[in-house]
Chains A and B, each alone.
Chain A
Amino acid sequence: MLAVEDLRVHFPIQAGVLKRTVGFVKAVDGVSFQLQRGQTLGLVGESGCGKSTVAKALMQVIALTSGRVSLDGVPVMSGDRVQLQAYRRKVQLVFQDPGESLNGRHTLGEILAEPMEIHGVGEATQRDALIQQLLMDVGLGNTPLTRYPHEFSGGQRQRIGMDPEFLLCDEPVSALDVSVQAQILNLLMDLQASRGLGMMMISHDLSVIRHVSHTVGVMYLGQMMEYAPAERLFSEPLHPYTEALLDAVPRPDPRLRDRPRRALVGELPSASNPPPGCPFQTRCPRVMPRCREHRPDFREWAPAHWIACHAVD
């Protein structure tokens, strides 16, 4: 299990010639969750809510301001290179644009062999067989290893990854066409079923999140607003922000076009200057005086259903 406790990532805002720190962007501000093997956690929220920062912090590619990340109960220390390397073999990130994460001057065979060399997986002689098995698993069997990334389509490129226990997917399908998107989502669900992968799916597309997730977290301005089993979150959302997000999703059924909707007015406030109290108070249709002063506690409102809202009682 991959556990995250009270994760905070604050970026300093520097100004002037002396680059003095004049404030902080609280990109992630006190987020906790657990990622189980064989399960998918969906993270949703508008751009700038901190969901990608969570993934980067989990990969330890950006420094945590505070908080704990532990894998199967063992805390992950960013200073311990040996431990970090072992951790990064088990926990991997899939980016939105596969073209950018594959070296255009290396062949498929070289790209797939490199992480195996770094992590000492198998003997050089066994690696070809391992690579062929991997490609078979992702539906790219019988692909010549001498081909270069540009010779693959976007959907094919997205399948060229490694062999982790936890997969953090940051918008893996948002740049793909729907028919290709379906292939990749099926592939991820198949890999999860056959290898017991734990997955975190970050997406702005709530329909995608709904489809693949067992648990869903809704983030807003670096904070978790609601966290619940997927089935429950989509059928009985409690937080006004979750309700508004769900209502805004375009539904592929014209009979629903005049459905009542709780529309949000205005835009996301800047993370460098968040409003006091509840971060959502400037756009909330159910705002109360209390919301403008006190940040609501993140509490377990019903079994496994967590929420940070004063208006829900």
Chain B
Amino acid sequence: MSVLEIEALSVDAVDGTQAVPLLRGVDLTLSPGETLGLAGESGSGKTLTGLAIMGLLPQPAVRMTQGTLRFQGQSLTTLSPKARQQLRGSAMAMIFQEPMTALNPVQRVGSQLAELYQIHRPNLSSSTIRQELIQGLANVGVSEPERRLTSYPHELSGGLRQRMMIAMALALKPRLLICDEPTTALDVTIQAQVLDLIRTLSREIGTAVLFITHDLGVLAELADRVAVMYAGRIVEEQSVWDIFASPKHPYTQGLLRSIPRLDQSAQTRLAIIPGQVPQPTEPLSGCRFHPRCDQATALCRHTQPRMIDGAACHLFGEQTC
């Protein structure tokens, strides 16, 4: 059974009487132990997708208007807010780019971590919780875990704070872990350690991972499948092998061509995608990428392409409308 099934998810920002579409028709599924990469540029809707799954959309300004979310076969949209809160932290967890904003600066790290157990495992004694915490920190490679429990967040380096967040997210062995750019603020050496950690834990515990990033290199290292978002829609989804070897959507192709590479000769011009990502308020018919696509046809300007064989593009598959 899938851990997560998202069908036709749409999210709008509501401003007075006006509704601005932020996400449209997002479909995703995730199996146990699988890592799905969600790639795209800022404003494409990656983070919103994660927040919608967690039930953390900043309502009522931003709300889900359509679609179904199923977690381990159970519909999330019909659950009470209280029941969803029970899931968060225990069965599903999310880690963010900047751990400093997610940790309480005036509380010791240990008591913040312990709170999670007190809420979700009220029957455990405090000495058992302490043992679990020490084990949890050791699992994510924190040296001297006992001493770290008494630290305040500002006393920890960025890498250590992110490890704390991961330890917290994984404490109750969630079935689903959503990572939103967890390594973007870290140095490459620390990033490599954190990626290793997520990879190992997903393999060992069988946690399904939704990994949100703009860094395609990170997904090549980590993901089993990759979905690419553009302007609120998924435009391509393939196995990590296929998407890097033969990207179908012109946007994916453009993204892959525009990144500088270690193994590429230097001082050459990088390929660019002309123009800019459209604002969500911009009325745009057909494929939302068509103004920037050098292969766009009249069909692309008028008709929204459907996802067929891993790409939502009129240039691929049998598109009939």
Contact = CB atoms under 8 A, between A and B. Distances in A.
A200 B277 CA distance: 30
Contact of B266 (A210, A255, A268): A210
A267 interface: yes
A185 B259 CA distance: 10
A248 B244 contact: no
Given A186-B269, A207-B261, A249-B217, A178 B41 contact: yes
A128 B159 CA distance: 48
Contact of B270 (A205, A211, A234): A211
B244 A211 contact: no
Nearest to B158: A47
B241 interface: yes
Contact of B241 (A47, A252, A254, A256): A254
Interface stretch (B55-63, B71-79, B188-196): B188-196
Contact of B191 (A186, A207, A248, A267): A248
Contacts of A257: 220-222
A90 B268 CA distance: 26
Contacts of B192: 247-248, 250, 261, 263-264
A264 B188 CA distance: 10
A34 interface: no
A245 B160 contact: no
B233 interface: no
Interface residues of A, number: 47
A290 B14 CA distance: 66
Contact of B160 (A205, A254, A267): A267
Contact of A250 (B214, B215, B258): B215
B42 interface: yes
B181 to A, nearest CB: 12
A182 B197 CA distance: 31
A19 B99 CA distance: 32
B191 A182 contact: no
Contacts of A208: 260
Given A177-B42, A178-B259, A257-B221, A267 B190 contact: yes
A137 interface: no
Contacts of A103: none
A245 B255 CA distance: 24
B142 to A, nearest CB: 11
Nearest to A259: B221
Interface in A186-231: 186, 189, 204-208, 210-214, 230-231
B240 interface: yes
A252 B264 contact: no
Interface in B186-237: 187-193, 195-196, 214-218, 220-222
B296 interface: no
A246 to B, nearest CB: 7
Interface string B258-297: 1111111011111111001100000000000000000000
B32 interface: no
The residue among A153, A205, A247, A250 with the most chain B CB atoms within 10 A of its own CB is A250
B254 interface: yes
Contacts of A261: 192
Q: Which of A212, A231, A249 has the most CB of B within 10 A?
A: A249
A254 B244 contact: yes
B270 A253 contact: no
B157 interface: yes
A53 interface: no
Interface string B91-106: 0000000000000000
B157 A267 contact: yes
B129 interface: no
Contacts of B193: 263-264
Closest 9 CB pairs of A and B: A250-B217, A211-B260, A177-B41, A182-B258, A182-B270, A248-B192, A46-B187, A248-B188, A179-B273
19 contacts: A46-B188, A153-B276, A177-B42, A178-B214, A180-B41, A181-B258, A182-B271, A205-B260, A208-B260, A211-B260, A212-B260, A234-B262, A250-B195, A251-B262, A251-B263, A252-B216, A252-B217, A252-B259, A256-B220
Given A179-B273, A183-B272, A250-B192, 15 more contacts: A177-B41, A180-B41, A207-B259, A208-B260, A210-B261, A214-B267, A230-B266, A250-B188, A250-B191, A250-B195, A250-B215, A252-B244, A254-B220, A264-B192, A267-B190
